[in-house]
């Protein structure tokens, strides 16, 4: 893992080397709190112990009875799906993977109508076992399998907490089950049973994923100048305090597009508290150089752009051509072009005084993905400590859940009353 803060030093907003050195004393204090939380296995901090506490053998044992599926359908929402989706998109595998992380009926109907459910494994994930969206989608999938003559009990994996509807169902039908680890919030669960079950079904190297994460964990130190993860978290905090209210996450690798989605939940749900936080935006290089870069470079100076890439990748050669004006491309490679686009964007932002940070892994492989996920989690926890926010809670999310539950008849909940009290100004 390599983090370069150079293009955030002389920008607007920006942070000086002297300011980072002054901040480093607070980083050391925050590191001590984080290490104490890890040692005690405290809620949230336990997520940073997953490189040591996750059990790849137990995960593989749970998925083994499900065989080699042609498709994997994960039913979950938020952290119950995004980590698994990020790892699967980055690493791939023989099965087609799909994620029911929304309740759009038309989209779900189209997906189920084209899936061969007899060759599909359903991976249903909910810590509480009562999540309305997840349980509703699962009931729809279960009925579709029954209608197709498929025994859903032979093709379903459950990942859930110690109690709840899913746990009871799994026990009643003797389904293969994985436990959601205690003390690990959903958005920090990518390197646990929640995120690794799909990877195990795909035959991914779970040990390498956790080893990559472990490398970053071992590098955590009481100085941002000694820990890439802390360097990134501290720089984000310092830039946010100076006006960079938006963090545009822009990976330059197609297989990391879902990573930007995962990062958005991690950053927003963890840090958006008490009027504080940094709004995550999602972009993809080089695609969004032709759209969003215009705003990043020439719009308001309220952004940090995080540029992510692997240092090595498989490549394709660009064929020679005699087309006028394009001969310079012949004999180069698509990787060369993508790297040039990356460096041009980086320089373009710096020239305009827009802060940007470079984050690199050696390769987008199991070890590199483990590094990237863990580093962002550790960076987020450090940012939360520096900002004195409650990183591991999500009260605004819970408010919305209660409002929806009340609207659906799940109880007399005051949050639902806010819907009927909404002011309206309708233009037709």
* Residue located via tokens 């180069």: 332
Q: With residue 43 as reference, give the H or E element that holds it.
A: none
Token output for 364:
């987008």
Q: Which of 290, 422, 423, 428 is catalytic?
A: 290
Q: Which of 31, 273, 303, 401 is catalytic?
A: 401
- Enumerate the H helices of 47-104 as residue ranges: 50-53, 56-63, 79-91
CA–CA dist 193, 209 (Å, integer): 13
- Rounded to 5 degrees, φ, ψ at 74 are -90, 125
CA–CA dist 161, 319 (Å, integer): 54
Q: Which of 89, 133, 261, 269 is catalytic?
A: 269
* Residue located via tokens 């990043």: 296
- Tell me the pairing of strands 303-310 and 246-251: parallel
**DSSP label of 100:** E
What residues form DSSP beta bridges with 71?
96, 120
CA–CA dist 234, 225 (Å, integer): 10
CA–CA dist 130, 398 (Å, integer): 13
Residues 6+ away with beta carbon under 8 Å from 384: 270, 271, 390, 391
Active site residue 290: yes
Closest CA to 69 of 207, 200, 208, 258: 200
Residues 6+ away with beta carbon under 8 Å from 143: none
Residue pair 287/297 in contact by the 8 Å Cβ criterion: no
Active site residue 273: no
CA–CA dist 145, 81 (Å, integer): 21
Token output for 187:
């958005």
Active site residue 401: yes
Active site residues: 269, 290, 401
């Amino acid at each position: 893992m390599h983090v370069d803060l150079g293009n955030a030093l002389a920008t607007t907003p920006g942070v000086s080397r002297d300011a980072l050195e002054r901040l480093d004393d607070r980083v050391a204090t925050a590191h001590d709190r984080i290490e104490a939380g890890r040692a005690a296995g405290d809620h949230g901090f336990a997520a940073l112990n997953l490189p040591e506490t996750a059990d790849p053998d137990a995960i593989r044992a749970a998925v083994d009875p499900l065989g080699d599926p042609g498709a994997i359908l994960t039913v979950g929402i938020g952290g119950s799906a995004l980590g698994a989706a990020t790892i699967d998109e980055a690493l791939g595998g023989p099965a087609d993977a799909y994620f029911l992380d929304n309740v759009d009926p038309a989209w779900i109907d189209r997906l189920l109508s084209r899936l061969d459910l007899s060759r599909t494994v359903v991976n249903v994930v909910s810590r509480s076992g009562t999540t309305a969206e997840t349980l509703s989608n699962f009931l729809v999938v279960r009925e579709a399998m029954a209608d197709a003559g498929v025994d859903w009990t032979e093709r379903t994996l459950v990942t859930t907490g110690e109690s709840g509807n899913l746990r009871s169902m799994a026990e009643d039908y003797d389904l293969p089950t994985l436990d959601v680890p205690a003390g690990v919030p959903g958005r920090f669960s990518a390197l646990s049973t929640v995120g690794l079950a799909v990877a195990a079904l795909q035959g991914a190297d779970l040990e390498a994923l956790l080893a990559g994460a472990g490398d970053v964990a071992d590098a955590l130190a009481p100085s941002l100048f000694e820990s890439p993860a802390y360097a990134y978290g501290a720089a984000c905090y310092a830039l946010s305090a100076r006006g960079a209210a938006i963090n545009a996450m822009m990976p330059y690798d197609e297989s990391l597009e879902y990573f930007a989605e995962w990062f958005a939940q991690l950053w927003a749900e963890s840090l958006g508290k008490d009027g504080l936080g940094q709004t995550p935006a999602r972009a993809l290089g080089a695609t969004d150089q032709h759209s969003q870069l215009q705003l990043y470079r020439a719009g308001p100076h309220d952004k940090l752009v995080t540029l992510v890439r692997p240092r090595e990748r498989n490549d394709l050669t660009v064929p020679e051509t005699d087309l006028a004006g394009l001969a310079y491309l012949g004999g180069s490679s698509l990787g060369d072009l993508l790297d040039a686009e990356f460096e041009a964007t980086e320089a373009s932002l710096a020239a305009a005084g827009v802060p940007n940070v470079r984050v690199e892994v050696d390769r987008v492989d199991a070890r590199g993905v483990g590094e990237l996920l863990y580093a962002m989690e550790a960076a987020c926890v450090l940012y939360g400590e520096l900002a004195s926010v409650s990183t591991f809670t999500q009260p605004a999310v819970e408010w919305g859940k209660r409002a929806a539950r009340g609207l659906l008849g799940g109880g007399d909940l005051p949050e639902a009353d806010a819907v009927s009290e909404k002011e309206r100004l309708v233009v037709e």
